[in-house]
Structure 1
Amino acid sequence: MELNETKNSAIKFRLARVLGLSDATFIGVGALLGGGIFTLTGLALSYAGPSLILVVILNGIIAFMTAMAYAELGSSFPEAGGAFVWVRKGLGNLSGHITGWTSWFANAVACGLYSLSFSFYFGFMLFSVILPALGISFSFTEGNAFQKLIAIAIILLIGWVNYRGVAGTGKLGKIIVYLEILVLGIFIIFGLTSFFEKPDLQTSFVPLFPMGLFGLLSAMGLMYIGFEGSEIIVQSGEELKNPRKNIPRAIFFSLGIICFLYLLIIFSALAGGPSWQVLSETGQGALVKASNFFMPGLEWIIIFGGLLAASAALNATIFSSSHVSFSMGRAGTLPSFLAKVHPHNRTPYVAVIISTILVILVAGLLPLKEVAAVTDLLFIFLFIQLHLALIALRKKLPDTPRPFKMPLYPLPSLVAIVAYGILIYQFSHVSPVGLAIVLLWLIAGFLVYFSYSKPVEIEKIGKEIFFEETFRTTERKADRILLPIYPDTNWKDLLNLALVFAKQKDAEIFILSVRQIPLPLPLIAEEEEIEDDKRFLEEALNLCKDCGVNVHAVLMTSRSISEAIISMIQREKPSLLLMGWKGYARLTKAGQKIFGRDLDIILREVNCDLIVTRLEQLNDLKTILLPCAPGPHLRILGQTAKVIAEAFDSKIKAVFVTTKREAEKSDPEEKLNQCVSAMEIPSQIPLKTQVLYAEQSSPRDIAYQIVQESQNHGCILIASARTRLFHEMIFGNVPEVVTRNSTCSLIMVKSQRAILRPLLSFIYGKLS
């Protein structure tokens, strides 16, 4: 039986690898040059004045931190879609959708910005150079109808180039960027010559901060689009030759080229041209004004360079915008027609057409300053998500090959996140309208996700199911327990434990068995495998017939066991996930043990109560060691202890571990009694309490006392530690050490209300 994917569909979605290192580098350089120098220098000078040089340095440092994140993720996961794919892997479907939605609009708005810049320089060339040379005089003002029409015309032209194919795109981009660098080189030579002829640093650079810190931060925010090119490079991952090596190289090459050019250009304009006040009054024409000062009669060269810069940036951003929407269409978070690939050109032609239309609307409706603010805010939000995804993926997929790894991880990501937060706050003063537009777009993204994307995700689950059977002995129950089980495991004891919880909670059991089929194989289940799996589930159903519990069994195929379980949780919304665990899988490359990739992912992604068991035999539940400490999991810890004790006539010993020094500050017996009281274990259950004393308060010493005490018990029932943002292990230090070193049966519990993901994923999870 073949499900979801076929050989033909796999070919249909494959993109051609035709781009080399130089193509990717110049795609990035083209976007960077169009974004900052030619378009926004005058606007940024009105805020920063001569400190615009410092703006370049500070933005370059922040951009370098983000470039490292792009280099690591782009070389590790070289797929079309870039940040959308990574955030989806790291922070979940909702976060991924919002990131892709943001990236799509960010590149479209940026493209609108560059189209307005192109039309400005085109109008300047026509009405200030060509027509006057012919003796014809017309006035040209920024933002008139002529400029809008030219902007739309160039958008259509660049869209057609991307429709035809990225091979032509790369060749066109390289030619444009070579010419740009030549033009800027001429500008730098004339500017530096003018400065050395009459050096006057006092006039050119004093006062350095005319508007103080406010002006510096405002200019950093407005100019930051001039440092955004990494996303565009990684969008070409599926079409780039040797992407694992070439993506990091292209990212750092393009950023290095840009920072060097920016510093020379701004110094040349300020030191060799008129005062910064004069330049700031000319808006997009700041470089033209400077060139008119120190290379009179040749300012047309800079106008031509502005046209080239805007053309390259248009090319790069339409390319990126269309590839994000293509990737989202392929993933099912946007309509699937966006994932269509042209049979001859091998390009995502529908995505290119729709992205081109979106760019036309932006260029036609929004003024330049607000377009710039919206673009910067969208990319800043995207970069924050990117850094959070990097941190999450380091934890979730530690064994993924990483040709490039961020040095000093996670410090660069944390510093970048703080810096971006400051810039966002500054935009609330610089462009409240732009901030409002971004918020409206994000709200629209949430609406699209809940009205379209999420139902499509749930519908996909049904296509992966090829056997489903229900056995009912009573009316349908609202409460459900999800129980993944597999042959060749201790699944019968696990099923009996699930029946105990189902009777106590008056719940149904939802048995899930997953047939995992790895890539690149198609999702095909052999008939013999299907029959074996059916017999296994039928055996499980037969064991439940006389238990008075409704049981629903599902057999599904999936690329990943963890994804299958998480998808089923989204569909069935159980209150409890009960699953078995064989023990630690292996050592990671860092020398650290992990629970196993699938379980690691499940622990971070589930939005229901969770019980994980390492059960040798049911008789081990006769004597239970119950380590307890104040925390968010006491509720589920007490409920679990109560259910097991009543079903297996268990004897429980609750322990609290402290040190002699801490005991002198606060009464440990009182803390232990408070924990026992919070767990609400009935008085008829045999329960003893004891305070254990460790030599030190380190997690290892505390865990050692628990492990030593567990030698007199059949099972440890332990709660997750209080989770913290960016914490290394999902169960915290003490439970992790106990789990690793104990030899008896073990049950770990985690309350839904205590699951804390990286910041934005956590917020989205609460909304969903």
Structure 2
Amino acid sequence: MTKDLERDLGLVSVVAISTGAMIGSGIFVLPGIAMNEAGPSVILAFALAAVLVVPAALSIAELGTAMPDAGGDYVFIERGIGPAAGTIAGLGTWLMLMFKGALALVGGMFYLDVLVQLPSHAAAAVVIGTVLILINLFGVKQTGQLQSIMVVVLIVILSVFVIATITRVDGAQYEPFFDDGYSGLIAATTTVLVSYAGVTKIAAVAEEIENPGRNLPLGLFGSLILTAFLYILIVFVLVGVVDPAQLADSNIPMVDAVDAVGWAGVWVLDSAQLLFIAVAAIVLAAILALVSTANAGVLTASRYPLAMSRDDLLPDQFAHVHSRFRTPTTAILVTGGAMLFIIVALPVEDIAKTAGAFQILVYALVCASLIAFRERPLEWYDPDFHAPGYPWVQIFGIVSGLYIISQMDLLPQVGAVGITVFGLAWYLWYARSKVDREGVAVDAARRQAGRQFVSETESRLDEATTDGDEILIALRQDASRLEENRLLQVAAPVAQTRGSQIRVVRFDEVPDQYPLDQATGQTPSDIEFEERTDDLADQYDVDIEVGEIVSHDTKHAVVNYAERRGVDLIITRSDPVSRLRTLFGRDSDWIMEHAPCDVVFVQPGAFDSLSELAIVTDRSPFNDPLKIELADAIAGVAGANLRFVFAAGDDPSEQYLETIQDYHDELDNRCYAPVEGVVVKSDDTDALVESLAGADMVMLSTVTHRRLPDLLFAQRSDRVAARLDQPVILVHSQKSRRTTFLEPIIDRVLFRS
């Protein structure tokens, strides 16, 4: 029987765990190292690093409220991008947190050595690490309470330190502020960025957070703001009171700051007594900070193997949860044991630095995962918190993360590559044979699309029986009789099925400088247009009204007319597709974007003989119902068969194929025309075009073209239509609005079709 984790962590514990995971080496170890790289601008480096973490924090907050499961960013990456990326992120973050926790324990012993002569820093770190492991085994509630106490005491001590020292800063020590220029600032930012890693790690224990929809985002940003403020304020003091050369070489910069402040005449104690009390308080704060970092490391790191085991990416033993304490005992013991081994046997500081670059890579992957989830129509994805500024914030997070990695030294870059290779090797050797799934943003979108196809199609076909619809055939002024006949061949069967009236309107466009009232007179061409339209009405036995509109802009006139008349469907000819037209904007794109109803575009080609109509179904549920309704009506009048072609992609899961088969069976029951279902098990355009061979007409979906993405990646419908010799109908449902300009890129990357 599967056991669940207990939800015991409130808002205070969430802030404490996240803050405790950050306030550690960032204050007590890294300022000296970063000062050596940037000079006084190290203050700005801490602020800039906090800004760079915001995209990942926003993404984590949204994803965490949608999926409050143990494992945090691993879960989001695995669900969004797939198990291979999830394995790399999970194992890499697990290792990184263990290294960071081990570094925090060792760094704390340097401060303790100021007051107590330790025979061995490593031995003392092992003892404290063992105590933390035991505390984590007994329960997450006890861990959260311990973390809250340590963080409160830590903040009090640091606040007193700032109050007592900020008046002693020397303004001359901030000049020149950009001592090493832009390159130094960037180098320092890459160094201190890992100080904020803990802000996203609280999502690893999201399954144990009470009311995660509220407490997770509040805890994340509360801890980030608090920590960034403390970092900037304390580093400002350190730079202002400690000699620059001394600070750049210091392993205990906070103690050096206490030594540098003159204590004579402060309160009633002499300077020696005050110095001892101040040093003791700072040592206590350092130990609390670094031990709390290690404690948070044990707590959050152990949830990664737990989550990966649940997903069959690690052995089942890691998923074991103690029946009494509700803690993942195996994961905690292995994580804690590995940290103790690292303390004793490995050069912790160097290895921890290499893990920093990987952490930034994880930030970028988290941002990419949010984009993947947002851009797919996932029925179950319903977060309580929505990240503001989407998708620009996430794009900034990805680009800035990759840029920061590119500016790092060779060793961190090699370390990130090494962790990535290790994670991929483990996936290929152990996990690949045990999992049969894609990223949820891919697989779930496909399966959900299949389920929604059925319900949406049923709803559309039921609505199609309603009388009173109005169909607009929008003709350009240069439309030929053949084009009019072609558009009516599409509209008439639909009008018969719906009981609709058809309005055939020719839109004449005149130059802006030409008065419209001078272009409204009837010409012989207008009379001929009305006469042949009357003949077409008799031929198709439908109610047709004819009209003409003169305007300075045809696309605006079409949309205005449709809004004024309450039109339910616009049928018009399709613009030729070219990158030049996409660059400068196409009339059909503007109509799709602004029309109050569905729009159908008909490409050239005669429909004189129609025995089979092929319909390429979408991965979204919006356009398919309209296509199926139109196709069934056209095929019913012509006595043709329907062939529904579904591109399932490479290596589709059996569950997905079963869903599509159910969909085809349901179509066979709901359509009047005979139905054949075809599944193309490929993402290749050639395979899809080949499956359409033999059909007399093809129906595809289309959406508005976004200039930059569609210049880079042509839409699938455009690529397929360009390869076909048959006449093509392009269908656009009013519901199928793109969420952002990213959708064509996501389709290309995730589905490669």
Corresponding residue for 1:638? 689
Corresponding residue for 2:130? 156
Corresponding residue for 2:696? 651
Q: Distance in 2 between matches of 1:398 and 1:333?
A: 24
Give the counterpart of 2:59 among 40, 45, 69: 69
Give the counterpart of 2:176 among 207, 223, 236: 207
Give the counterpart of 1:447 among 386, 403, 425: 425
Please state if 1:312 is matched with 2:297: no
Shift, 1:41, TM fit: 1.3
Shift, 1:221, TM fit: 1.2
What is the DSSP-based 3-state SS (H/G/I as helix, E as strand, rest coil) of the residue aligned with 1:304? helix
Shift, 1:125, TM fit: 2.4
Which residue identity lines up with residue 144 of structure 2 in the other structure? Answer: G
Corresponding residue for 1:185? 159
1:560-585 Cα shifts (integer Å, max 9, x gaps):
xxxxxxxxxxxxxxxxxx99969975
Which residue identity lines up with residue 280 of structure 1 in the other structure? Answer: A
Q: Distance in 1 between matches of 2:437 and 2:63?
A: 30
Shift, 1:153, TM fit: 2.1
Shift, 1:634, TM fit: 4.6
Q: TM-score, normalised by structure 2?
A: 0.62
Which residue identity lines up with residue 159 of structure 1 in the other structure? Answer: I
Please state if 1:224 is matched with 2:269: no
Which residue identity lines up with residue 341 of structure 1 in the other structure? Answer: V
| 2:40–2:174 contact (8 Å) kept in structure 1 | yes
Cα separation, partners in 2 of 1:267 and 1:486, compared to 1, 3 Å: closer
Shift, 1:586, TM fit: 6.8
| 1:49–1:277 contact (8 Å) kept in structure 2 | no
Shift, 1:351, TM fit: 0.2
Shift, 1:307, TM fit: 0.7
Corresponding residue for 1:409? 390
Cα separation, partners in 2 of 1:620 and 1:65, compared to 1, 3 Å: closer
| 1:32–1:229 contact (8 Å) kept in structure 2 | yes
Corresponding residue for 1:337? 317
Shift, 1:205, TM fit: 0.8
Cα separation, partners in 2 of 1:731 and 1:440, compared to 1, 3 Å: closer
Please state if 1:88 is matched with 2:56: no
Shift, 1:99, TM fit: 1.5
Give the counterpart of 1:285 among 252, 257, 266: 252
Question: Residues 702-717 of structure 1: matches in 2 within 5 Å?
Answer: 706=730
Q: Distance in 1 between matches of 2:43 and 2:122?
A: 32
Please state if 1:756 is matched with 2:749: yes
| 1:113–1:371 contact (8 Å) kept in structure 2 | no
Q: Distance in 2 between matches of 1:322 and 1:293?
A: 41
Q: Distance in 2 between matches of 1:234 and 1:285?
A: 31
Cα separation, partners in 2 of 1:328 and 1:424, compared to 1, 3 Å: same
Give the counterpart of 1:250 among 185, 197, 219: 219
Which residue identity lines up with residue 93 of structure 1 in the other structure? Answer: P
What is the DSSP-based 3-state SS (H/G/I as helix, E as strand, rest coil) of the residue aligned with 1:347? coil
Q: Distance in 2 between matches of 1:333 and 1:361?
A: 24
Q: Which structure has the bigger radius of gyration?
A: 2
1:596-635 Cα shifts (integer Å, max 9, x gaps):
xxx99977995999999777477689xxxxxxxxxx9552
What is the DSSP-based 3-state SS (H/G/I as helix, E as strand, rest coil) of the residue aligned with 1:345? coil
Which residue identity lines up with residue 330 of structure 1 in the other structure? Answer: R
Cα separation, partners in 2 of 1:344 and 1:206, compared to 1, 3 Å: same
Please state if 1:260 is matched with 2:237: no
| 2:71–2:306 contact (8 Å) kept in structure 1 | yes
What is the DSSP-based 3-state SS (H/G/I as helix, E as strand, rest coil) of the residue aligned with 1:757? helix
Shift, 1:82, TM fit: 0.7
1:331-374 Cα shifts (integer Å, max 9, x gaps):
21100100101122111010000001221233234435413412
| 1:161–1:168 contact (8 Å) kept in structure 2 | yes
Q: Distance in 1 between matches of 2:387 and 2:249?
A: 41
What is the DSSP-based 3-state SS (H/G/I as helix, E as strand, rest coil) of the residue aligned with 2:200? helix
Q: Distance in 2 between matches of 1:379 and 1:620?
A: 52
Corresponding residue for 2:116? 126
Give the counterpart of 1:370 among 350, 358, 368: 350
Question: Residues 581-600 of structure 1: matches in 2 within 5 Å?
Answer: 585=621
Give the counterpart of 2:33 among 28, 33, 43: 43
Shift, 1:675, TM fit: 8.6
Shift, 1:246, TM fit: 0.5
Cα separation, partners in 2 of 1:112 and 1:602, compared to 1, 3 Å: farther
Question: Residues 271-282 of structure 1: matches in 2 within 5 Å?
Answer: 271=240, 273-282=241-250
Q: Distance in 2 between matches of 1:102 and 1:27?
A: 21
What is the DSSP-based 3-state SS (H/G/I as helix, E as strand, rest coil) of the residue aligned with 1:107? helix
Number of paired residues?
521
Cα separation, partners in 2 of 1:219 and 1:366, compared to 1, 3 Å: farther
Corresponding residue for 2:459? none
1:406-430 Cα shifts (integer Å, max 9, x gaps):
1110111111111111211122x2x
Task: For structure 1, list consecutive stretches of 5 or more residues without a partner in the other structure.
Answer: 1-8, 128-139, 461-483, 490-577, 588-598, 622-631, 658-671, 682-686, 691-702, 709-722, 733-754
Q: TM-score, normalised by structure 1?
A: 0.61
1:73-122 Cα shifts (integer Å, max 9, x gaps):
11121111111111122111211222111221121111111111122222
1:205-254 Cα shifts (integer Å, max 9, x gaps):
11212222222111111111211223331122111111111101100111
Cα separation, partners in 2 of 1:41 and 1:601, compared to 1, 3 Å: farther
Q: Distance in 1 between matches of 2:52 and 2:245?
A: 27
Cα separation, partners in 2 of 1:726 and 1:204, compared to 1, 3 Å: same
Please state if 1:234 is matched with 2:203: yes
Corresponding residue for 1:352? 332
Please state if 1:97 is matched with 2:66: no
Shift, 1:757, TM fit: 2.4
Q: Distance in 2 between matches of 1:99 and 1:323?
A: 13
Greater shift in the superposed pair: 33-42 or 248-257 = 33-42
Cα separation, partners in 2 of 1:485 and 1:265, compared to 1, 3 Å: closer
Cα separation, partners in 2 of 1:292 and 1:487, compared to 1, 3 Å: closer
Q: What percentage of residue pairs aligned between the two structures are identical?
A: 25
Please state if 1:114 is matched with 2:81: no
Corresponding residue for 1:420? 401
Please state if 1:379 is matched with 2:346: no
| 1:71–1:247 contact (8 Å) kept in structure 2 | yes
Corresponding residue for 2:239? 270
Shift, 1:449, TM fit: 0.8
Shift, 1:439, TM fit: 2.2
Q: Distance in 1 between matches of 2:50 and 2:357?
A: 17
1:278-307 Cα shifts (integer Å, max 9, x gaps):
21111x211110111115332222122111
Greater shift in the superposed pair: 318-327 or 207-216 = 207-216
Shift, 1:276, TM fit: 2.3
Give the counterpart of 1:25 among 15, 39, 43: 15
Please state if 1:728 is matched with 2:740: no
Q: Distance in 2 between matches of 1:232 and 1:731?
A: 27
| 2:692–2:698 contact (8 Å) kept in structure 1 | no
Please state if 1:322 is matched with 2:289: no
Which residue identity lines up with residue 161 of structure 1 in the other structure? Answer: I
**Deviation >6 Å, runs of 4+:** 484-489, 578-584, 599-605, 607-615, 723-726
Q: Distance in 2 between matches of 1:76 and 1:486?
A: 21
Q: Distance in 2 between matches of 1:173 and 1:151?
A: 18
Q: Distance in 2 between matches of 1:258 and 1:601?
A: 49
